[in-house]
Structure 1
Amino acid sequence: MGPFRPRTVRLLLLLIVLLVLAACLAAAAGRAWLRSQGVEALAWQGPSLSFAGVGLERLTLTWRDADGNRLEVDADGLWLSWPGAAGTNRGYLRQVRAARLALGWHPAPDPAEAAPAAPPDPASLLRWLPGDLRLDHLILDLPCASGRCVEQGSLALQRNGFGNPGGDPLDLRLEARRDGHVLALRLLAQRLASGWTANLLGQLDQHPLLALASQLKEDAATPTWQGELDVPGLPDTTVLLDWLAAWTPLARDLPRAPQALRLSGSWELRPGEGEAPLDPARLWRGSGHAQVRADLPQPWPVPGVGLLEGRLDLALDGEAGRWRPRRLDGDLRAGALQGDAWQMLPATLRPQSLALRLTPLENAATHVQLHLSGAGKTQFELDTRLTLNDQAPLAVRLDAARLSASDVAYHAPAGALDGLTLDLRLDGRLDRQHAELHLRPTSRARLARLEVPGTLVLERLVAESDALELALAYGGEAPATFALRGPVSLRAGRLEQAELLDQGWRFVGTLDLRDSAQAWKGRLDNDAGLKLDLDGTHSAEGALALHARLPELFLRAGNPLAGTARQWPALLSLSSGRLRGEAQLTVPTGAAPATGTLDLDADGLDGIYDRSELSGLQGHASLRLAPRTLALEMPDLRVAQLNPGLPLGPLAFAGQYRAERVAPAAGRLEWREARAGLLGGRVWLAPGSLTLGAADQRLDLHLEGVQLAELFKVYPAEGLAGQGVIDGTLPLRLDGSALRVEAGRLAARGPGFLRFRSEKLRALGRSNPGMGLVADALDDFRYERLDSSVGYDERGTLRLGLDLRGRNPDLEKGRPINLNVNLEEDLPALLTSLQLTDRVSDTIRQRVQDRLRHAPAP
C-alpha cells in the first residue's frame, strides 16, 4: 500500500472531527433520552468492540419507573452479541453472557394500587430473550417476608431455533445455592407441528423434587392441554422449609421433622372460547378431566389458604364449564388461615384452624360423608352427607346435616353476645349461585347473654324451629342476598329493659327476614301473663312498623299490665273487668319522629286509684301520636261509681285532649259532656275547654237535686239529720294547679227541715244563752228558706255562709226564726276522716294511715 496523500489525510481528519461532534451530540441526546426512560444512573468500564459484539468489564445501572419502583443492575464480565440481521436471529441478541449479574428490586414505599396486569404472552416474551443466555453467577436482592432476601445461583438458556415447528427445543437451567445446598430446575420446551411440549424437572441436592410433563395440541379445532405432575417426596424437607421460611411467614414456625411431601396429578383439558389457550378463565369454561393426589404429612404453606396438611384424592370431570367431582376423598387440616373471607370475620368468631374429612360412600362418584370442624375461640362442627348431582348445573345436596358450635362470643360497641351454643339439624342444596337450607325438628340455639348497650339485656335465650328456611344468592356482579323464613320459637329467661320489669318473655310465630326487608308475626307473652299478638316490618331504608293487639284481658285473674310496665302507676290497681287494646307504631328513617296509635276498650273495670275506689268503668279511649302533636279521644267514658270517701256516680265524660309533643302536660282539654251523680242529685259542667297549667281559668260547676238526707248520711257529725233538695252554682277558678271557689251560691229548692241533736251543742248552749237558742231551734228546725254562700281556697278550706229562715214548732209557739251561721271546714281533712271509716276498702284505709304516719309534724 502506498503512502497517504495530503488530500486523503485532510479527509480523514475531517471525518474524525465529524465523528467526534456526532458522538458529543449523540451523548447529550442519549442522556436526555435515558432520563426520559427512567434511567437514573448508567456507567461502564473496560468496553471492547469487535465484529462479534460488545464487551464490558463492568456495568452499573439504576432505573426507576413512574410508580417509584427501583431496579439496580451490577454486572461483571458482560458480553452481548450484535442483534441478528436475518432469519430467525433477526431483531434479537444471539448471545448474552455475564460472569456475575446482580439484580436488586426495591418497590416504592407506598406503591399506588393498580389493576393487575394480564400475563404476558409466552411467545412474545421469548422473542426478546437471546438465543444463548448464560449467567455464571446470578444474585437476586428482592423484598420478602423477612424484609430483604438475597438468592444466589446461575442461569443458562438455549433457545436458538425455538418457536419454529420442528426447531430446537428451549433449554432453561436454573440453579439456586444456599448454605451448601443446591436447588436445580430444568425446563425443556419445544414447538411441534401439532403444538407445544414442555417438561420441567426439579432437584434438591440431587434428589428428585418434581417432574412436570405438559403438551398443548393445537392441530384440532379445539386445543387440548394435557399433562402430568409428580412430586415424589424428599427424604428430608428441612432444607426446603428453611428456604421457604425466608419468603413466607407461614413457614417460619413449621416443625422441622424430615417428612416427605408427595403430590401427583394429571389432566386433559379442552379450553373454552377465548384467545390464549392457557388462560385460566378459558380453561375453567372448557371441558375435560383432572385428578390430583396429595399427601402432606406436615404443614405446608399454601398461598391464599394457610398451612395445609393431610391427604387429598380428587378427580374432576367437566363439560362446557360445568365441573363436578368424580372422586372425592381426603383428610385435610389448615392452620394460620389466609383469605379475605376469614379476615372479614371478627377476631372472636374467626377460627384458628380447620379440619376437613371427606369419606366416599356407596357411590363414590356422587355420595360423600363430610366432616368439617373449626378450632380456636370459635369451635364448630359440621357433619353431613353430600350428594353431587350428575346433571348441569353442578349442585350439592346436604342430607341429615348437623351443625354444632359452643361458647361463641362476640363483643363490639353495638352489642355483645356470650355463650352461644348451636345444635342445628338441616338439609339443603348448594350450587354456584344459590344455597337453600332447611332446618329439621329439634334444631336449637342457646345464648347465655345478649346485650345491646343502653337498650336491653337478654339472658338464657333459646331459639327453636323445625321448618326454618334459609336462601342465599351469591356470585355474579349483583350483591349477595339472603332470605330467612319460617316458624320459630324464642324464649328468654330474663329480659332487662328500662321500661319493663325484669322477667322472662316468649315469642312463637313466623319470621321473614331478608337483606332488603324484615317481617315477623306471632304471639308474645311473659311471666306476668301478658299476651300480645305482634307483627312488624323493617324496611331496607330503616323504617320500622309495629302492630300489637291485646286480646281480651280478664283482670279478675290478675293484672299482667302492672306486672310488665315499670311505669305502671303504683297507686292504680285493677281487680276485675275486661280490657282489650290495639297499638300501631311507625318509626321512619332519619331524624323524623315516630308516630302511632293506641286504642283501648274497657268493660266493667273495678279497682282503686290512690285513695278512691272506682267500679263499672267502661268506654273507649284512642291516643293518636302525630309527628308534632298528640291527641287523646274519649268519646263515651262511663264510671258506675267513684268513691274517694264521698260516693260519686254515675259519671260520664265525652271529650278530647290535644297537646304538642314537646309539652304533653300543657295541652287543651275539651269536653262535650262532663257530669257525675252526687248525693241523690248531680253535678255537671257545661260544654267547654281549659288549658292545663294556664293561669286564671274560670268554670261554673252546677249542682242540681242534691239531697240533704244523703249528705247527712256521709257527713261525720253525730245527731245531724235533715231533708231538702239543694241546687246551686260554684264558680271554679283555676290558676295553674291551684283551685278556688269564689262567690258560690247554694239554695234549697223548697221547704225542708234540719235536726241537730248533739250533747256538745247542748252543753255549749247551757254556757252561752245565745247558742242555747240556736241549739233549741235546731232541735227540730223547719226551714222555709235555706241559702248559702260558698268559698274554697287553695289551702283546702271550705267556707259556708248559711242563711236559714223558718221555725221550730216546739219553740216559742213556732214563731219565725232567722239564723245566720258561718261554717268553716278543712275539706282534705274531712275527706281523710271519711276515708278512715268503713265506707271505703281496707286498701284505702291502709294508704291513708301510712300517709298520716309519714306526714311531717305541723
Structure 2
Amino acid sequence: MHAEGSGKPSRRIRRVRLVGWIALALPAVAAGWSLVVGQGKVGMALPDIHHGGWEVAGSQAHIMPSVNASGGSAVIQFTPPSLVLTERLAYTGSEQPLLLQDLRTDISNVTLTLDYGASSAWTERIAIKGEVKIEATRIEHPFMVPQAWSFQGRVQGRLADLRIQGTLSSSAGLKADLTIQLNPGGGVSVLVDSVIEGQQGVRALAGTFAGWPELLAVDSGIAGVSAQVRLNPDGELEASGSSNLENVTGVFNRTAFSGLSGRVLASLEDDRLTAGFRDLTVEQVNPGIPVTSIRFTGDYIAPVTNRLEGQLEVQQARARFLEGALRIPPGVYDLEDSSGGIPVEVQDISLDRLMKAYPAEGLEGSGLLSGRIPIGFSSDGVQVAKGRISAEAPGGRLRLPGEKLQAMLGGNQAMDVVVQALQNFHYSVLDSTIDYDERGKLTLDLRLEGKNPELRGGQPVVLNVNLEEDIPALLTSLQLSGRVNEAVTERVRKLLQESGKEAVP
C-alpha cells in the first residue's frame, strides 16, 4: 500500500494483509454504519514520539487484530502473535535519565477501545485492557546496574489514567510487584513491593542497584521493601519507601551485627532526604567489643547534596555495653554544628569487663564508670571532643602491668612512680577526659587519687596520666583474635595482606 501525492510520509506502512470477511452496511449516507474484520495480520512502522521529556523511537507493530467498528467507536482485539518492537524508549526530562533498549511488548491478549465519536482528548477516548508481557534487553539509569529486565502483568484503563500491574524481574534475580499509574494531569506514579530474603536476595539487590555497599554481607533475615516514585507533570521527582526488617544478620565492613529488626522509612522531596526509624532493635553490634540490646527510634533530615549535615531527632536510643548502659537523651541534634555533637551517656560500665576486653594479659580492675561522650560526625570520620568519664563511689582497684603501661606512657623514665603505683592501685577518684580524632587516636587525660599499699607505706597518691591509643589498630587486633566472627577475621586478614601489613594480632 503506497501513499499518493508528492509528499513522502515520515513513517510509511510496510505491510498490511487482511484475511477474513468484511461487512459494510449501506447506504453510506445512513446514520449508522459498522465494520467487522474477523481476522487480520498487520505489520507497520509506528511514528516516533517526543513529548514531555519522553522519547520513543524505532517502533514496529506486528499484530493479529480483529476489529468491530461502528459510527461512534471501535473495539480491536489482539490475538497471538501480536507484538510491538521498540528500539529505544527514554526519559530525559530529569538529571537522572532513564533508557530502555530493544523492547519487545506482547499484546496478544489485549483489547483496545477507541471512542472516536466523543469530543474529549484522545487520551480520554482510548482504553486498553488485557494481559501484557514486556522484555527489555537493557535498561540504564544512574541508580541501577545496566541489565535486562522483564515484566508480566495486566493493563487497564484509559490512556489518561492507565494502570499497569504485574511482576518485574531483573536478570540479576530481583523480583518485585510493580504498579504504574498514569494520572490525568500528566504525572506518573510507580509503586514497587518486594521481599528480600537471606544471601540470595541481597545478591540480587547488589546486582541490580548501583552503589550497593560492597562491604555489606547478609547471612540471614527478611526485609520487606516498598518504594513509591512520583513524577509530576512539571518533571519534579518525589520518592518514598519503607522496609520492614526481621532478624537480619550479617557483616558491614569489619563489624558484625545480628538480630536487626524494625521499620525504616525514607523519602526524597525538594532535594531533602528524610529517614525514619521505628522500633529499630539490634541484638548485637560487634566491631571488636560487643554492644548489645540496641533500641532506637528517631528521624533524620538532611540535604541530598550533603547527607552528613542534617538534623537527628532522637525519641529513644539505648544499648547495653560492658554490663552497663549507653543512652542518647531524647532531643534534636544538629550534625552540621560539629561543636556540640551527639551526647552519649555512659552508665555503670564495668571496669573489670573493660580490662578483660583489652587484648593484653595482666590487666585487672574493679569499679563502675559513668560519664558523657559527645560524638561528632564529618566527612573525615568520627570525632570526640572533651568527653568525660568518672568512677562512681567508693572507687575500686587498678592493676596495670608495668611493661604494658610503660609502652602506653611512651617509655618516659620520669613516669616510674606512676608505673609502680599502678601495679596495685586502690583508687577513690578516677576522672578522665576523652578526645578522639578522625585519624583514630584516642587520648585520655586521667586523674587518679588513692594509694598502693605496697608503695611508700600506702601513703595517698595523686596521679595525672596521659594515655594514647590507636583505636583502629586496637580493633584490628580484636578482630583478628576471633572475638567478632570468622567472616570479619578473614576480611581483616585480606585487607592487611593487600596493604602489605602483617596479618597477626
Range of TM-score over shorter length? 0.7 to 0.9
* Contact 1:701 1:730 (8 Å CA) reproduced: yes
**2:285 corresponds to which residue?**
642
Q: AA paired with 2:66?
A: D
Quote the offset at 1:803 in angstroms.
0.9
Where in structure 2 are the equivalents of 1:181-330 lying within 5 Å?
A: none
Q: Whole-Å Cα distance in 2 between the matches of residues 846 and 527 of structure 1? A: 33
Q: Whole-Å Cα distance in 2 between the matches of residues 733 and 452 of structure 1? A: 43
1:426 to 1:846, Cα distance in 2 relative to 1, 3 A = farther
**1:338 corresponds to which residue?**
5
Q: Secondary structure at the match of 2:189?
A: strand
Pair member with larger Rg: 1
Determine if the alignment matches structure 1 residue 667 to structure 2 residue 310.
Answer: yes
Q: Whole-Å Cα distance in 1 between the matches of residues 164 and 294 of structure 2? A: 42
Quote the offset at 1:566 in angstroms.
0.9
Quote the offset at 1:688 in angstroms.
2.0
**1:543 corresponds to which residue?**
187
Determine if the alignment matches structure 1 residue 597 to structure 2 residue 237.
Answer: no
Quote the offset at 1:792 in angstroms.
0.6
Quote the offset at 1:784 in angstroms.
4.3
* Contact 1:463 1:491 (8 Å CA) reproduced: yes
Q: Whole-Å Cα distance in 2 between the matches of residues 484 and 850 of structure 1? A: 61
Q: Whole-Å Cα distance in 2 between the matches of residues 652 and 499 of structure 1? A: 31
1:458 to 1:762, Cα distance in 2 relative to 1, 3 A = closer
Determine if the alignment matches structure 1 residue 798 to structure 2 residue 436.
Answer: no
Which of residues 710, 713, 718 is equivalent to 2:353?
710
Provide Cα deviations, 1:774-808, integer angstroms capped at 9, x if missing partner: 666555x2624250312314353322314152435
Unpaired segments ≥5 residues, structure 2: none
Which of residues 67, 86, 90 is equivalent to 1:428?
67
* Contact 1:836 1:848 (8 Å CA) reproduced: no
Q: Secondary structure at the match of 2:19?
A: strand
1:815 to 1:585, Cα distance in 2 relative to 1, 3 A = same
Quote the offset at 1:763 in angstroms.
11
Unpaired segments ≥5 residues, structure 1: 1-333, 352-378
Determine if the alignment matches structure 1 residue 528 to structure 2 residue 156.
Answer: no
Q: Whole-Å Cα distance in 2 between the matches of residues 662 and 775 of structure 1? A: 51
Q: Secondary structure at the match of 1:561?
A: helix
Q: Whole-Å Cα distance in 2 between the matches of residues 692 and 815 of structure 1? A: 48
Quote the offset at 1:412 in angstroms.
7.1
**1:837 corresponds to which residue?**
481
* Contact 1:470 1:484 (8 Å CA) reproduced: yes
Identity %: 26
Q: Whole-Å Cα distance in 1 between the matches of residues 190 and 412 of structure 2? A: 76
Q: Whole-Å Cα distance in 2 between the matches of residues 680 and 834 of structure 1? A: 19
Quote the offset at 1:750 in angstroms.
4.1
**2:259 corresponds to which residue?**
616
Quote the offset at 1:698 in angstroms.
5.2
Which of residues 567, 571, 578 is equivalent to 2:215?
571
Q: Whole-Å Cα distance in 1 between the matches of residues 40 and 154 of structure 2? A: 23
**1:677 corresponds to which residue?**
320
**1:350 corresponds to which residue?**
12
Quote the offset at 1:704 in angstroms.
1.6
Determine if the alignment matches structure 1 residue 381 to structure 2 residue 25.
Answer: no
Q: Secondary structure at the match of 2:206?
A: coil
Which of residues 430, 451, 466 is equivalent to 1:787?
430
- Greater relative CO (CA pairs within 8 A, separation 6+): 2
Q: Whole-Å Cα distance in 1 between the matches of residues 414 and 230 of structure 2? A: 74
1:677 to 1:814, Cα distance in 2 relative to 1, 3 A = farther
Q: Secondary structure at the match of 1:657?
A: strand
Quote the offset at 1:554 in angstroms.
1.0
Where in structure 2 are the equivalents of 1:384-783 lying within 5 Å?
A: 384-388=19-23, 393-404=32-43, 408=45, 415=55, 417-418=57-58, 422-447=61-86, 449-452=87-90, 454=92, 455-474=97-116, 481-512=125-156, 514-550=158-194, 552-559=195-202, 560-590=204-234, 593-626=236-269, 630-659=273-302, 665-697=308-340, 700-730=343-373, 739-742=383-386, 744-757=388-401, 778-779=422-423, 781=424, 783=426
1:479 to 1:773, Cα distance in 2 relative to 1, 3 A = closer
Q: Whole-Å Cα distance in 2 between the matches of residues 735 and 502 of structure 1? A: 32
* Contact 2:46 2:60 (8 Å CA) reproduced: no
Q: Secondary structure at the match of 1:553?
A: strand
1:684 to 1:749, Cα distance in 2 relative to 1, 3 A = farther
Provide Cα deviations, 1:640-669, integer angstroms capped at 9, x if missing partner: 111222222222222112346787653321
Provide Cα deviations, 1:556-583, integer angstroms capped at 9, x if missing partner: 3331222211132333333321111223
Q: AA paired with 1:350?
A: R
* Contact 1:729 1:746 (8 Å CA) reproduced: no
Q: Give the number of equivalent residue pairs.
A: 478
Quote the offset at 1:599 in angstroms.
1.9
Q: Secondary structure at the match of 1:468?
A: strand
Q: Whole-Å Cα distance in 2 between the matches of residues 763 and 437 of structure 1? A: 87
Q: Whole-Å Cα distance in 1 between the matches of residues 201 and 357 of structure 2? A: 32
Provide Cα deviations, 1:495-528, integer angstroms capped at 9, x if missing partner: 2222210122111111135343322112212122
Q: Whole-Å Cα distance in 1 between the matches of residues 253 and 232 of structure 2? A: 38
Q: Secondary structure at the match of 2:39?
A: strand
Q: Whole-Å Cα distance in 2 between the matches of residues 638 and 435 of structure 1? A: 59
Provide Cα deviations, 1:806-829, integer angstroms capped at 9, x if missing partner: 435xx3797356362432223343
Q: Whole-Å Cα distance in 2 between the matches of residues 627 and 688 of structure 1? A: 25
Q: Secondary structure at the match of 1:849?
A: helix
* Contact 1:706 1:727 (8 Å CA) reproduced: yes
* Contact 1:386 1:396 (8 Å CA) reproduced: no
**1:147 corresponds to which residue?**
none
* Contact 1:554 1:579 (8 Å CA) reproduced: yes
Quote the offset at 1:488 in angstroms.
0.6
Q: Whole-Å Cα distance in 2 between the matches of residues 564 and 681 of structure 1? A: 42
* Contact 1:730 1:790 (8 Å CA) reproduced: no
Q: Whole-Å Cα distance in 2 between the matches of residues 400 and 652 of structure 1? A: 66
1:749 to 1:828, Cα distance in 2 relative to 1, 3 A = farther
* Contact 1:384 1:402 (8 Å CA) reproduced: yes
Quote the offset at 1:831 in angstroms.
3.0
* Contact 2:427 2:448 (8 Å CA) reproduced: no
Q: AA paired with 1:845?
A: V
Q: Whole-Å Cα distance in 2 between the matches of residues 806 and 832 of structure 1? A: 35
1:789 to 1:849, Cα distance in 2 relative to 1, 3 A = same
* Contact 2:338 2:376 (8 Å CA) reproduced: no
1:337 to 1:623, Cα distance in 2 relative to 1, 3 A = same
Where in structure 2 are the equivalents of 1:9-24 lying within 5 Å?
A: none
TM (norm. structure 1) is 0.50
TM (norm. structure 2) is 0.81
1:759 to 1:660, Cα distance in 2 relative to 1, 3 A = closer
Q: Whole-Å Cα distance in 1 between the matches of residues 118 and 327 of structure 2? A: 75
* Contact 2:435 2:442 (8 Å CA) reproduced: yes
Q: AA paired with 2:4?
A: L
Where in structure 2 are the equivalents of 1:797-836 lying within 5 Å?
A: 797-808=442-453, 811=454, 815-816=458-459, 818=461, 820=463, 821-836=465-480
* Contact 2:340 2:374 (8 Å CA) reproduced: no
* Contact 1:423 1:443 (8 Å CA) reproduced: yes
* Contact 1:694 1:736 (8 Å CA) reproduced: no
* Contact 2:297 2:316 (8 Å CA) reproduced: yes
* Contact 1:493 1:503 (8 Å CA) reproduced: yes
Provide Cα deviations, 1:147-170, integer angstroms capped at 9, x if missing partner: xxxxxxxxxxxxxxxxxxxxxxxx
